[in-house]
Structure 1
Amino acid sequence: MPFKVTAGRAWGMTGLVIFLYVVNYADKAVLGIIAQPLAREFGLTSSQIGLVGSLFFVTFTVGGFLAGPLEKKLTLKWALLALGLTWSVVMLPLVVTGGFVVLVVCRMLLGLGEGPSSALMHTAAYSWHPPAKRGLPGAFLAGSASVAKIALAPVLTFITVQYGWRMAIVALSVLGLVWMVCWIPGFKEGPFTSKAVKGADTAVGSAPTEPSVSWRKIFFTRTFASCAFMIIVVYALTTVVLTWLPSYFELGLGYSALQAGSMFALPSIVGLVLMISSGTVTDRLRGRGYTSRVVRIIVPAIGVLICGAVLVFLPSIGTPALAVAVVSIGYGFGAIAFPLINAAISELCPPQQTAGTMGVFLALMAVGGLVAPYGTGLIVDSAATAAEGYATSFQIIGVLGAIAAVLVLVFANPERDRKIIRGEVLAKSA
C-alpha cells in the first residue's frame, strides 16, 4: 500500500534500527566486560582472550559478504529479525558449558550472525532518508555503540560483579527478545531503496531507478579504497576498546573491576557527542551546497588525524586519569569517521546496490578486528607491564590512523568517483 514519509515516521523507523544497533554492540562489548572473570575461571592468558576477540571478527568479516544476498532473498525486516534472534541465542551454550573451546565457538557464531547486520541496518535506516540527509541518521547509528557502552556497560558490569558473568550473557539475550517484540509490528521499509513500495505517495519523492554497475567499478574507486584503509584502522581501535579497555583500566591503570567497567563508557560519551555534532553540522553544510568531499571526507579525516596524534603520546603518560582522558579523546575523534565515511560510500552506488556495497565495505572494515585484539594480547603478554603493553598497542594504532587519514585526504572524492560510476550507467543505458 502507498505510504507517506514524514519526519516523525522516518525517525521512528530509524529509532527501531538504532535499538537493534544498541543490542548489536552490547553483544560485542560484553567480552571486554567479562574478560577478566573468564580469564580467572578458565585460566586464560591475554593472548587467548585476544584470540577470541580476533576470531569473532574472522566470521564477522565472512558474514559481511552475506549482506547483499540476504537483502535479495529476504526483506530488510525479516533479515534483521533473523539476525537479531541469532545473536540472542548463540552465546547461551557458554552459560551451560563453559570453557575456552565453547567460548571460541560461541563468539565465532555470534560474529557470523553479526557480520551482515551493519550493512543491512544502514540500508534499513537509509531507506527512510535521502542521500543528502544521511549524515545525522548515520551518526545516530554509529552512536549506538556509544549508547550501548554508556547505558549498558555499567549495568552489565554490575551484573557481572554481583551475579557472575553468566548472568550478563543471559541479560543480553532477554534484551534481544525485547527488541524483537518491538520490531515485528513496528518496522516497515522506507522508499529510498530498490524495494520501495511502488506508487508510494511520499512527501519528498522516491529513489530514482538506475541500472546496476559492475562491483569492480565501485570497489576500485580511489574513494572506496582509501576510505576502506582508514576505516580498517579506526575499527582496529574500536575492537581494542571493545576487547581490552576494561582490562587496561583494571590491570594497567589500577582501577577496580567495577570502576573499570563503569569507565568503559567514557570514550563512548566523547564519541557520541562528537558523532552527533558532526552529523548535524555536516548535514546542514551539505544542504547549503558544500560538497560531499568537504563534509564527509575532509571532516572525518581530520578527526582521525587528531585521534592518531593524541594516541601516539599515550606510552609517555604516567597519570591514570590523564591516560583515561587521552584514550577517550582519541577514540572520540576517530569515531566520527564511521557515520560520515559510511554516508560517503553509500553515495557511490545505485540505490539497489547499497546493501551489497556497504556489506563489502563493512566486511573490509572488520579486517581491523581480525588483527588488533589478538595483536594487543600478544603485546601485553610480552611487555614488561600490562600498562606498557596496552599503551603501546594504542600508540601503534595512532600512527597507522594518521597515515590512513593523510591518504584519504589525498585520494578520496565521492563526487568525482560517482561521476565515473555514473558514466558506466549512462553507457549501459545508451
Structure 2
Amino acid sequence: MTSGTATVGTATTTEPGQESRPQAWSLTGLLVLLYVINWGDKAVLGIVAQPLADELGLSASQIGLVGSAFFVTFTIGGFFAGLLDRWMTLKWSLVLLSLGWAVAMLPVVLAATFVVLLASRMFLGFAEGPTSAMVHTGVYSWHRPEKRGVPSACVTAAASIAKIAVAPALALVVATWGWRAAFVALAVVGVAWCAIWLPAWREGPYGKQAAAKSTRESPRTPDPASARKADGEPAPVPWARIFRTPTFLGGVAAILPMYAVVTVVLTWLPSYFEVGLGYSRVQAGVMFGFPSIVSLLMLFVLTGISDRLLSRGSTSRMLRGVLPATGLLVCGLSLAALPYVDVPWLAVVVVSVGYSFGASIFPLFNSAISEVVPTRQLAGTLGVFLALMATGGLIGPYLTGLVVDAAATPGDGYALAFQIFGVLSVVGAVIALLTVNPERDRARLVGPPAAATTH
C-alpha cells in the first residue's frame, strides 16, 4: 500500500484529499463523454423527425407520441439506478447500459415502421433511465461535496455539447447518407466508448467503496439522534424521510417542468425552426445547438460562482436553492412571452436565452440533493429524483404534437406549447424558492456536520 491509498476488498481506493486532480478530471471527462453519447441518442429523434415523417407518413402527434413513450420507459428505468448500484459495480453497470443503447439504435434501421420505431425508442428509454444517477455518482466519487457544482455542470453540459456538436454532425449525416446512417453511427460510438472505459475507470475517494471502508473501521456512535458514525460518515436513514424533505420535493417541483422543456426542445426544436420559422433543414439542424451554446456558458458561470462562494462560507440555501430557482423563473417568463414574438431571429434568441437560464438548474439541484443524503444512498436518491424529473418527458413531446396539429399554423402551435411549459416553469420556480434548503434538511436527516458534534 502506498501513501494516500487504501485497499477495499480487491480494489484500491485513494484517501480523501489525496486524489490526483488530473485523474479526477480525466475520469470525469470520460463520464461526460458517455453522457454526450446518451444525449446524442436522445437528440437523434428531433434531427430525423421530418425525414421520418415524410418516409413513414407520420403526423406531428405520432412523432410526439414516440418522444413521450421514450420518457415513459426512461422514467421506469430511472428507478433501477439504486438496484444496479447494489447488484453491479459502476464500471459494469455503465458498460451494460451503453451496449443497450447501441442495440436500441438498430431495429428501426432494419425495419422502418412506426411500431418498430416506437418499440425501439421505448427500449432505449429503459436502458437510458438509470444513466444520469450512475454518471453523477461516478463523478461525485472524485469531488468533495462543496466542489461538485462545476463537475455537475460538466455532466449537464453533455446535453449542450450533444446539441452543439453532435446534432449538426447528425444533420449532415442525414442530409448526405439518410436518416438510417445517423442511428448506425450512434450505435458504433456507444460500443467504442466501452473499449476506452473498461481499462480506465476506478472509483474515487468519495464514493461507495470509501464509505464501505469507513463503515467497517468505525462503529456507530451510541447517540441515534445524530445518525452519524464516529468518523463523520452519516449512517443510512429511512428512504421515506429523504423523499419527504422540502429540498427533495421542491427540487422535483422545479426540475420536472424544466425537463419537460428539455424534451420538447429535443423532439421539436429543429421542426420549430424549419416548419415554424421557415429555416432550411440543414439550418435548423445547425441552429439546434444555439440554445445550448448560451446554456453552456451560463452553466459554467453559475456553477463556478456557486462552488467558489460555497468554499468561502456562503450557504447552499442561496447558491443551490435560490440561485437555480431564479434561473428557472427567468426561463419560464421568457418562454411564456414567445407567442408574442413575430420575428424569426428574435424567437430564436428568446428560446436560447430562456433555455440557457433554465438548464442551469440541473447541476445545482443535483448538487443540492447530494449534500442532503449519506454517500451510500446517493445513487438510489438521485435515481428516484431523476426518474421523477423525467415524468416531464411523458407529457412534453406528445402534448406539443397535439397542440401543433390543432393550431392554425405550426409556428403558432410550437409557440403556444412553449408558453404552456413556461408557465409551469414559473410555478415550479416559486415552489423551489420557498422550499429548497440543503443545510437545513441535511441537519434534520443526519445531524449537524461532524465538526459540530465534537467538543
**What is the rounded CA distance, in whole Å, between the counterparts of 2:124 and 2:416 in structure 1?**
29
- Could you tell me whether the CA contact under 8 Å between 1:2 and 1:199 is conserved in 2? no
Please name the residue that 1:284 is paired with.
308
Residues 96-121 of structure 1 show CA distances to partners (whole Å, capped at 9, x for unaligned) of 11100000000000000000010000
Please name the residue that 2:294 is paired with.
270
Please say if 1:330 is aligned against 2:362: no
- Could you tell me whether the CA contact under 8 Å between 2:41 and 2:186 is conserved in 1? yes
- Could you tell me whether the CA contact under 8 Å between 1:2 and 1:197 is conserved in 2? no
- Could you tell me whether the CA contact under 8 Å between 1:212 and 1:425 is conserved in 2? no
Residues 32-55 of structure 1 show CA distances to partners (whole Å, capped at 9, x for unaligned) of 000010001110000000000000
* 1:178, distance to aligned residue in structure 2 (A): 2.0
Residues 235-274 of structure 1 show CA distances to partners (whole Å, capped at 9, x for unaligned) of 0000000000000000100001000000000000011110
Q: Secondary structure at the match of 1:195?
A: helix
Which of these residues, 396, 416, 419, is aligned with residue 440 of structure 2? 416
Residues 306-339 of structure 1 show CA distances to partners (whole Å, capped at 9, x for unaligned) of 1111111110111110001100001000000000
1:160 aligned partner, one-letter code: V
Q: How does 1:144-293 map to 2 (within 5 A)?
A: 144-196=158-210, 208-293=232-317
Please name the residue that 1:107 is paired with.
121
Residues 45-78 of structure 1 show CA distances to partners (whole Å, capped at 9, x for unaligned) of 0000000000000000000000001001111111
1:32 aligned partner, one-letter code: G
* 1:210, distance to aligned residue in structure 2 (A): 2.5
Please name the residue that 2:366 is paired with.
342
Residues 262-320 of structure 1 show CA distances to partners (whole Å, capped at 9, x for unaligned) of 00000000111100111111000100000111111111111111111111111011111
Residues 75-99 of structure 1 show CA distances to partners (whole Å, capped at 9, x for unaligned) of 1111011101111111201101110
1:40 aligned partner, one-letter code: D
Give the % identical residues. Answer: 54
* 1:404, distance to aligned residue in structure 2 (A): 1.0
- Could you tell me whether the CA contact under 8 Å between 1:131 and 1:347 is conserved in 2? yes
Query: CA 1:285 to 1:423, structure 2 compared with 1: closer, same or farther past 3 Å?
Result: closer
2:280 aligned partner, one-letter code: S
* 1:209, distance to aligned residue in structure 2 (A): 3.2
1:211 aligned partner, one-letter code: A
Which of these residues, 53, 64, 82, is aligned with residue 67 of structure 2? 53
Query: CA 1:198 to 1:226, structure 2 compared with 1: closer, same or farther past 3 Å?
Result: closer
2:198 aligned partner, one-letter code: I
Structure 2 length as normaliser, TM-score? 0.90
* 1:144, distance to aligned residue in structure 2 (A): 0.6
* 1:410, distance to aligned residue in structure 2 (A): 1.1
* 1:196, distance to aligned residue in structure 2 (A): 2.6
Task: List structure 1 segments (4+ residues) > 4 angstroms apart after TM superposition.
Answer: 197-200, 423-426
Please name the residue that 2:222 is paired with.
none
Please name the residue that 1:74 is paired with.
88
Please name the residue that 1:136 is paired with.
150
- Could you tell me whether the CA contact under 8 Å between 2:24 and 2:142 is conserved in 1? yes
Structure 1 length as normaliser, TM-score? 0.95
Q: Secondary structure at the match of 1:184?
A: helix
Q: Secondary structure at the match of 2:306?
A: helix
2:168 aligned partner, one-letter code: P
What root-mean-square deviation, in Å, do the aligned CA atoms of Structure 1 and Structure 2 show? 1.7
**What is the rounded CA distance, in whole Å, between the counterparts of 1:406 and 1:213 in structure 2?**
29
Please say if 1:321 is aligned against 2:345: yes
2:336 aligned partner, one-letter code: V
Q: Secondary structure at the match of 2:210?
A: coil
Which of these residues, 17, 22, 30, is aligned with residue 44 of structure 2? 30
1:321 aligned partner, one-letter code: W
Please name the residue that 1:203 is paired with.
none
Query: CA 1:32 to 1:186, structure 2 compared with 1: closer, same or farther past 3 Å?
Result: same
**What is the rounded CA distance, in whole Å, between the counterparts of 1:424 and 1:107 in structure 2?**
45
Please say if 1:402 is aligned against 2:426: yes
2:185 aligned partner, one-letter code: A
Residues 363-386 of structure 1 show CA distances to partners (whole Å, capped at 9, x for unaligned) of 000010000100000000000000
Please name the residue that 1:363 is paired with.
387
**What is the rounded CA distance, in whole Å, between the counterparts of 1:409 and 1:58 in structure 2?**
28
1:65 aligned partner, one-letter code: F
**What is the rounded CA distance, in whole Å, between the counterparts of 2:302 and 2:77 in structure 1?**
30
Please name the residue that 1:204 is paired with.
none
2:382 aligned partner, one-letter code: M
Structure whose CA Rg is larger: 2
Which consecutive unaligned segments of at least 5 residues does structure 1 have?
A: 201-206
Please name the residue that 1:385 is paired with.
409
* 1:130, distance to aligned residue in structure 2 (A): 1.1
* 1:3, distance to aligned residue in structure 2 (A): 3.6
